[in-house]
Structure 1
């Protein structure tokens, strides 16, 4: 089979038509909450099970497959994912003719995850797949077929940092092809790399209203230094985003060694209690490291984390959860 044949061009067009309806959803998701949107690439072993007819002299059922995928995490354990995979060409021979076959699939599935550690997550996917198959028979020429089939997959995801992850996955598609191209089950075992987008927008730092009681004299001398500030974080992240005001405050703190710093970290309610306790502790540690790198003495810093236990907003809404992903920083005078 020639890959630049009209059938192959038609095949690619149909695959694009199949995945195009997914693009507005993922683009809108990326615009609303960039940190939940991810893309990736994968490659591995495709096996066409029972693809050869009776009486073959040569049966090739294995090939190298590769593809792309995109997804959106609604929570730490639930996502929607779509992708396209080229399973490449396999060949078989019979007494009087030869057969070449090429399958390309696109899929849309729900993805359910279970986090083993901060960096390791097991997951399973259930969804639907659209496949298009081109076949060339040496005695009959080119013909093609397409079909929808059920898809199940399981895998493991290893987080390298806040943006990059590695994954290994096994995928099964039940019955690719139709009565014209003949059906076969398709197995695909792959390794891949995933990139999660991070928001480039600077997060707000909200000064908390000064209490009515008398403020420490040293703080009065610096009206730009509030009694408290709040840093907000992206979903499932401990990364401190660009915050010019924090730099200014740190410069002022260096001039007043009797001002102590309390760091109190929180999360939203997504994920398990244990995972959120660890995530809050990581956020508190990152803020503490920031001050230490700015030459603030460690004896001036007090660190606490409360996980998801002390929300200030409703965790049932996206805006509420965003407000609860926070680190509160307070300043006090050491008499």
Structure 2
């Protein structure tokens, strides 16, 4: 049995497997792409008094052994176990899961952010691309739930082609509390436009500015700070420690704006009071754009999503992603919904 769930962001996808995990016997294994995302889910569940765990290579051997012993106990206390796809190749974990399965205590597998199976699986995270084959080979009778936000029909079809006997549940993607605007920018990086717009509309509220390159994130954050808007830069060249500090400051409203690449600051952003998401450059795809703007307004209050674009953006995207020549510019209008 497989259930593939495709929902809009902030629609409570996690609840679809967390609630059954708490109400049913056995252990639910959630396979999620980011250690930081797993750790955040673990902390949130622990604060609610739910017994969850996420093993990590950073943990001591003593801690790892304690998790292993809990899993092989006659009546394991752990209800949700969060792991990365790579962790599913660890011998000790597979042995523990087989022990659970043999005692009918392996309740289900959940593949969170399932779009990563196709989007990053084969090239960047090969264990993601072969995840389903591993689960069906080792745990043939265990139910699998694949959970995703907005994905296009092509990616959805590729995922479902890997899986047999599937059911698909979807929800409408429109978020009525998000107001979208697309505006042609007049400057190269959109720094001045961002400063003007944020100062005019949300100078004291939380927001995200997505930038095309890592150096653009640094330049944007520096410019916003000089304009009196507290900002932090967030991308893969920033150390893990500094990224954690930046995100904690943002969550606590000590930093108002995160200037980030979409790759670094994408999944697992659950701050409810993000009032705006700005793209200073044309996003990679409509699916990416929807997921990234979906970080706004999770508390249900009105929020705004602004896209500043230039005629040259599409050509630069094609050259960077596919190595194609720049096309003739097509964007001519400014529109708002």
Task: Provide the TM-score with structure 2 as the length reference.
Answer: 0.23
- Structure exhibiting the larger radius of gyration computed from Cα positions: 1
Higher relative CO (Cα under 8 Å, sequence separation at least 6) belongs to: 2
Structure with bigger strand share is 1
